[in-house]
Amino acid sequence: MAGCGVLEANEGARLLHTTLDNAGAITKPSFIKSGGTGYAAGTYAPSPCGGALVIDEASDCAKYGADQNINPKVGTVDFFVRPSFEKDDGKAHRLFALTNTYMQLTKTAAPENALVFGIAGTPVVSVGTAALTFVKDTWTRVTLTWAENSGQVTGTLYLDGVQVAQKSAGFPAQSPPNPMYLYVGNLQCNSADHGMAQFDDFKIYDKVLPPN
């Protein structure tokens, strides 16, 4: 899979990088700006990048403190996902989320069956079913960027390096939760709307970085 590992030219912008190869790679990630360790729950499978976290139970997830590890006003999240579901299965699957869904990327339930990024309950950008290239048991690289400017936040979604959606919305006045946690493939590590997928090579940066 092209894109495994840290983009060296942007290493200074890196906030978090976990290969998700195994429990040790989650609890002691390759790089973490703040917090030092993560929480791991789940099983693991081989992947082209070395190994992947399997999220197939409500209690499966990787969890990190969000302080300094993600900036709600500007950033990039980049990872690989191998869905165990059909994109039009009518069910919701969270790919990542912050506490109280302050920020989340979710494949929504019927009738939309869309990939939606939102902040504080406000959808920012989405990819409809027709343009959503998720294929069951096939790896897809997901890149999400966002940036706030003058009270507006612009979100851009890329699938396998191709821009598939971009849109702006009002940046919410609601303050982020405190404390706030970041969850990969889940929310609170106990959600029925868990990812139902394999996740690999999860990276966060503190600036907008389109895939290359």
Beta bridge partners, 168, equal: 154
Residue 5 to residues 17, 52, 78, 131, Cα–Cα distance (Å): 8, 13, 10, 27
Q: Return the structure tokens found at 11.
A: 């290493």
Residue range 106-131, pLDDT digits in tens? 999 999 999 999 999 999 999 999 99
DSSP state letter for 101: G
pTM for the predicted model, two decimal places? 0.95
Q: Return the structure tokens found at 12.
A: 């200074």
What's the pLDDT at 146?
Answer: 98
What's the pLDDT at 35?
Answer: 79
The mean predicted confidence, pLDDT, of the chain is 94
Q: Return the structure tokens found at 198.
A: 């394999």
Residue range 55-107, pLDDT digits in tens? 999 999 999 999 999 999 999 999 999 999 999 999 999 999 999 999 999 99
What's the pLDDT at 36?
Answer: 83
Give all domains of the chain, ordered by start, each with its CATH number.
14-205 (2.60.120.200)
